Chain A
Amino acid sequence: MRSVSIIGIGQTEVREHWERPLRGLAVASITAALDDAGVDRADALYVGNMLSGELTGQEHLATLIADFAGLRGIEALKVEAACGSGGAAVRMGYLAVASGLHDLVIVTGVEKMTDCEDGLVTEALAMAGDGEYEAMQGLSFVALNALLMRRYMHEYRVSHEDFAGFSINAHKNAARNPYAIFRRPITREEFMSARMISDPINLLDSSPVGDGAATLILCPEDEAQRLCPTPVTIIASATATDTIALHDRDNPLFLQAAHESAQKAYAQAGVGPEDIALFELHDAFTIMAALSLEACGFADNGRGVELAKDGEISLQGRIPISTMGGLKGRGHPVGASGVYQIVELVQQLRGEAGANQVNCHVGMAQSIGGTGATAITHILKGPH
């Protein structure tokens, strides 16, 4: 097994890209990443995406994108793990290089969600859960998370307002990220009075859908120094799964897959939570942010919200999260988010995060599929 580095990153803005089709978004991010890496070819392309078939009528996606990105002929595969598809694609790219089988790999996450009306998107997103026993009962994906949030509030005696800090923090950072979908901070009052989607989850608890693509260029660590002045190394990559349906979980309020994935990653990297300078977690909803922090050892069960209340999640806090806006502020083009997380970690570790810069050398990202059914954790180390 070889050590793997990231030598190039590229991303599009997250927004309603009316003029751009799915393949166009992917190609734009790939081109940007190749330029950033200073290379113009690759051995393989792994594309993370959840809904290309359902929402744009396109499967066989990676082969299509390879062709349109000027990479005709290379190995190209789509990877899908619901909203964790981006992290899953990173995982595949990592495995390809670490195994020694490929020396230059492109990992792209891309999603186009805004071509269809709300009801169809809601129906499609519910496929991240159990189609027959959750979605057919009328549940939206938001509703699944709302069930968790309500139970959390009941068991740990916290209020809805206790979650406000996650959203406020995300918007504050997103406002300073030129690629983010939301570009203005929000107030506590706005959070409390936002429209209810599936109670207790309101509009400002929920990450927004959008279109976007993000890309990484991976190569062996040995080659990275030659190709790139500021290579970032992947020091851990670990995946774990749990039951797909909430009703099958032993304890729905504990993200077991996130926990196991993080534990495996910590062990691989030889670090613990105290060594992590920033955590790009999967804040699809404020409840997910709290549960992710708890599962990965940053807070005890039921105490995740306190990190938000006490400001520990801010750029100056003990464990900065969503440093470029996260899923909540930068946006959540679902299959692409896991790659955006890595792109943003690389920006931070290279010192290219601008106004959102955190003083860091080791950072962690975790991409989650469904309500915690798949968790893919990566730990990255910055260049010396």
Chain B
Amino acid sequence: MSLARHWRLQDERYKLIGKECAACGKKLFPSRDICPHCGSRDLKPYRFVGRGEIYSYSTIYQPPAGYEAFVPYTVALIRLDEGPLITAQLTDLDREGVEIGQRVEMVTRKLREYGPEGLIVYGYKFRPVLKG
């Protein structure tokens, strides 16, 4: 069972905590040790609000092993308000469908289970903004 692998990513998966580069000010998600924009190693934790808009999306009909129970499900690239793109599933979708540019917000949902006896992995997904 890969327990530590998922446990160590909880700050990112539960709270969207990435990094902010003290040198160039860019916000980074996920976390890194070296700023890809300016090369600085002076990075501090930064919590993203969890709002953004859809950059692109796709509905999956042929899933990787472990995600069969959710098919069909929709994944997306989302442009977070603070700048970075994030890859995540969309959830709580209406039958009307999804549009590029649509505003979305982060929620915490089940990403997958490792069988009925195994770990449940929770993480970020995005849904159309409920209100406000």
Binding site for A on B (CB under 8 A): 9, 30, 36, 55-68, 70, 73, 75-77, 84-89, 100, 111-112, 121, 123
Contacts and interface: CB of A to CB of B under 8 A. Distances in A.
B55 A137 contact: no
5 tightest A-B CB contacts, nearest first: A146-B58, A119-B65, A247-B85, A123-B64, A151-B56
B interface, over-half SS: strand
Interface string A119-140: 1101100100010111111111
Contacts of B65: 119-120, 122-123
Nearest to B99: A154
B88 A137 contact: yes
Given A134-B87, A137-B88, A150-B100, 20 more contacts: A119-B66, A122-B64, A123-B65, A126-B64, A136-B112, A138-B89, A138-B112, A139-B64, A139-B87, A143-B60, A147-B56, A147-B76, A147-B77, A150-B58, A196-B61, A197-B62, A198-B60, A198-B62, A243-B36, A245-B87
A288 interface: no
A236 to B, nearest CB: 28
Q: How large is the interface on A (under 10, 10 to 19, 20 to 34, 35 or more residues)?
A: 35 or more
A139 B64 CA distance: 7
Contacts of A126: 64
B24 to A, nearest CB: 14
A248 B70 CA distance: 26
18 contacts: A119-B63, A119-B68, A120-B65, A123-B64, A130-B87, A133-B30, A138-B73, A140-B64, A143-B58, A143-B60, A150-B58, A150-B100, A151-B100, A198-B60, A198-B61, A198-B62, A247-B85, A252-B77
A136 B111 contact: yes
Contact of B56 (A134, A154, A196, A243): A154
B56 A138 contact: no
Interface string A223-254: 00000000000000000000101111100100
B66 A143 contact: no
A133 B28 CA distance: 13
A142 B100 CA distance: 19
